[in-house]
Amino acid sequence: MKIVKVETCPDEERRRVRVWVEKTFRGRKLPQLTEIYRTSYKPDYNLIPKDEEYKLLEAVKNSESEVILPNTIEMPPLMKRFIVKDHEKKGLETIKEYVLPLSYNHSPNRVARIAQGDEKPTIKFTMGLGKPASPSLYEGIPLQ
């Protein structure tokens, strides 16, 4: 965090101040200033001298590639079967693309963005177990 502005509060007994900071989360600066008030009296923050500030700012400047999250995911296999059977039973046309929309929690600290429209995501979520932590437990079992 880089302190941008400090304002004292009228109540002196509480030892609180209002501080506006440039917050950095996982190597990226958040676009808006963050106000700290309730926790400003705690000794959790460490002030560094102005001449050492460049070291901290250099650590923030890293060129990570942009992460784009998918906005849809393939439907689970059992759900696909239920839908196909239900459509056959009702005489409806079967769906050609079995995908579900994804919903993400909104957070000011999110560094990845969600794909818009037909944009290609850089990360792909798939159905399956993935890579197990202990492969010996899954010997002889197809994971894909």
CA distance 132 to 40: 43
pLDDT of residue 13: 61
Contact in structure between 28 and 61 (CB atoms under 8 Å): no
Question: What DSSP assignment string belongs to 51-119?
Answer: GGHHHHHHHH---PPPPEE-SEEEPPHHHHHHHHHHHHHHTPPPPS--EEE------TT--SEE--TTP
| Mean per-residue pLDDT, 36-43 | 70
Give the pLDDT band (50/70/90) at residue 9: confident
**In angstroms, rounded to a whole number, what is the distance separating the alpha carbons of residues 30 and 21?**
10
Q: Average pLDDT for residues 90-101, to the nearest whole number?
A: 87
- Label residue 144 by pLDDT band (50, 70, 90): low
- What are the residue boundaries of the structural domains of the chain, listed by start? 2-62, 68-137
- Higher-confidence position of 106 and 119: 119
Question: Would the pLDDT of 63 be above 60?
Answer: no
